[in-house]
Amino acid sequence: MKHPKTLAKAALLVALGLGGHRAAAQAQTVATALPPPDAKMQQFISKLMQQMTPEEKIGQLNLVSVGFTVTGPVVSQDVDAKIKKGLVGGVLNTFTPVAARKLQEMAVSQSRLHIPLILGFDVIHGHRTILPIPLGLAATWDLPAIERGAHLAGQEAAADGINWVYSPMVDIARDPRWGRVAEGAGEDPYLGSQIAKAMVHGYQGPTNDMTRPDNVMACLKHFALYGAAEAGRDYNTTDMSRQRMYNEYLPPYKAAVEAGVGSVMSSFNDVNGIPATANKWLMTDLLRRQWNFLGFVATDYTAINELSAHGLGDDKKVSELALNAGIDMDMVGEIFVRNLAQNVKEGTVKQADVDLACRRVLEAKYRLGLFQDPYHGISEARAKEVLMQPAFLQTARDITRRSLVLLKNDNQTLPLKNTANIAVVGPLADRPIDMLGNWSAAGDAKQAVSILQGIKNVAGSTVRVSYSHGANVTEDAQMIARLNEHGGQLNIDPRPADAQIAEAVAAAQKAEVVVAVVGESQGMTGEAASRADIGLPGRQLDLLKALKATGKPLVVVLCNGRPLTLPWENENASAILETWFGGTQAGNAVADVLFGVYNPSGKITMTFPRMVGQVPIYYNHKNTGRPYGGVALDKYKSRYLDVPNDPLYPFGYGLSYSTFTYGKPSLSKTSLGQGQGLDVTVTVQNTSQRDGEEVVQLYLRDVVGSSSRPVQELKNFQKILLKAGESRQVSFHLNPDDLKFYNDDLKWVAEPGEFEVMTGSNSRDVQKASFTLTK
């Protein structure tokens, strides 16, 4: 156990926001991995299982849905009767204290053995108080803020009857066509790993004490490699080498396991031909034997049923495959309930393995304290006190401000100062529901602040704010039908597009500056929302071109859940502010940045391509044998004929109203032996007249290796506050593991040779120093 003074010091650093990444790292050292079951837990569960029938044991593996959120074709039937018979281990998609208590009372009062239910829900970026989508949260590069956000979400979920949340989603994603990039941290394994740890600690508490009424059990998803779906098409296949898995895609999952995550969700995709839900190498050899994961594994929605569509066999066969692979709980499909008893009878599944899966589910309930308090402290009074309390709304506003990324600024237009007349235009300007983003099922659009309203709130009565719709978010009738079918709730203006644009132009001509709020509706990203064209949909680009022609300063405010292709916008807008889907307080937070109440500090965590033909594009790529050097006559090199290789906005990029300069990194030594580390120091100066935050980034390149190595890899970062004119030395420590990678034999090694250290404000704008690792 840590000394109380150590805990207090770490907590103070986090509370003050001091030291950026370092503060978060210090705070997280107090967290423990998920402990093995102690003697008391084992004795309790063994005694309970001795009383259970084989049917009741299988029932604990059955996760049913009662509610409104459905992401598959199957809907649970006769749930009440199954709960009373002991044939349900958990329920998802139900919340509120009244509904949760009703289900729990049914289980603990009317079933034979009174075993409580585990109650799950997709709490992805807030529960009632909605925070920015995870891709936006990652853009804060602020681990203490991300941990606070997860804890806020967990507190609300717990007060609303939920004890198990399907988060964090840690899939590495390099293809912005995939709609679910909105749910993750982007393309980098190191940053993704730090965020995974922070979110697990936020949900489960710093010591993983899930019996506390304000903590919930987290569920790591989607295991594994879901973010590498081919062509960016959801649910599609994934195929890659083990070396790439271990070095680039698996680290965030492993980090969450090391942080003590209580549960894992299997992914929909196959991995090198074997679907994850039937993949014993993934679920048993890797997750449990190599990583020593001690929690339980649930499938995604009807994933066992879908093994048949993958071509693995009928219901009875896929039941066998999933259980033997290491799956413990079947989400909604009820394949286990219908088939496991027959599998055991025929000898294709061992009763001991069914018992082990049942034990893992019961252990999760024990860790949550449900056998002591099945209601986890829920009450209507507590919910009223906790949900959307003013402090939570203020926290949400602050986190949202930190997530916004200034992509362009002519240093004259933003921040808006001494502006008396603003024209706000665009299909997303007055859309509270679109501020919530995807996976915000418990969020209330009536409580969300639109960007138009936020501008009015912050500008005050002295600024005239006019509004014009300007364009529909899309003119594609098929897309409109699909989105509305799935609850997209698009606001479609029936007038001709040219008439809408003309009205917006008229409003712009009367204003001093135009703020155009454009992008995607919340239904255009998320699950089953892949897009082949990732430019602005519909006639929105035509709207921007018409507004530009007025000669008025044009501020483009983006609402979206993925990187977009923005070549014209970057060339022609006066300023571009990336706001993602910012949640309940989005409008106020965006206005805070537009008017300079808050100085933007966000940095993108996923590369923005110039055009979709560059996809997949990511910063930590490998060189080819013919790397392109940017020379016009460099013909026989790895390049495009029609577009530069480099992205529009590189990983780690984001501007501020302040300006910063970097010195060359200084190393504590230029030669080190195996097992040694070194210190890196860089001087960063705020060269502006305004205080500002900067994310100082440290990258490393292994110049020569037994395998081709990435051109650079993020190894550390610090988010610091520099006062106007202030200069500071920022120090990092590279430890021996920072030099290691998994070689072709999957050995974790640091190979002798030259290394380059790079520091800067993003992955592109860096300065270098070198050192040598000896044998």
- Asked whether the beta carbons of 205 and 212 are under 8 A apart, the reply is yes
For residue 481, the tally of other CB atoms under 10 A from its CB is: 12
Contact partners, residue 509, CB within 8 Å, separation at least 6:
550, 552
* Segment (H or E) for 717: strand 713-722
- Asked whether the beta carbons of 336 and 323 are under 8 A apart, the reply is yes
Dist CA 497 CA 503 (whole Å): 10
- Asked whether the beta carbons of 127 and 381 are under 8 A apart, the reply is no
Return the sign of the alpha-carbon dihedral for residues 381, 382, 383, 387: positive
Token pair of 563, please? 């990187």
Task: Measure the CA angle with vertex 710, ends 706 and 714; round to 5°.
Answer: 125
Token pair of 261, please? 């995550």
Amino acid occupying residue 586: A
Dist CA 557 CA 561 (whole Å): 13
Dist CA 688 CA 721 (whole Å): 13
Contact partners, residue 334, CB within 8 Å, separation at least 6:
62, 64, 74, 76
For the chain, report the end-to-end CA distance as a whole number of angstroms: 37
Examine the residue annotation and report whether 300 is marked as an active-site residue of this protein. yes
- Return phi, psi of residue 85, to 5°: -85, 0
Token pair of 304, please? 């066992």
Dist CA 102 CA 14 (whole Å): 39
Contact partners, residue 90, CB within 8 Å, separation at least 6:
62, 63, 64, 117, 118, 119, 120, 164, 298, 329, 361
Burial of 146-184, coded b for 16+ CB within 10 Å and e otherwise, reads bbbbbbbbbbbbbbbbbbbbbbbbbbbbbbbbbbbbbbb
3-class SS at 536? coil
Dist CA 609 CA 481 (whole Å): 29
Dist CA 281 CA 73 (whole Å): 28
Give me the helices (H) in 315-431, please.
315-325, 335-346, 351-367, 380-386, 390-403
3-class SS at 125? coil
Give me the helices (H) in 549-608, please.
567-572, 586-594
Dist CA 497 CA 201 (whole Å): 48
Q: What number of CA atoms fall less than 13 Å from residue 269's CA on the CB side?
A: 23
Token pair of 645, please? 């290789």
Residue the block writes with tokens 């030594």: 669
Taking each continuous run of H as one helix and of E as one strand, the counts in the chain are 25, 27
Task: Measure the CA angle with vertex 613, ends 608 and 617; round to 5°.
Answer: 45
Q: Which of 171, 175, 234, 300 is catalytic?
A: 300
- Return phi, psi of residue 556, to 5°: -95, 120
Going from the C-alpha of 80 to that of each of 53, 84, 365, 490, the distances in angstroms are: 19, 6, 20, 36
- Asked whether the beta carbons of 665 and 766 are under 8 A apart, the reply is no
Amino acid occupying residue 773: L
Dist CA 79 CA 303 (whole Å): 20
3-class SS at 179? helix
Active site residues: 300
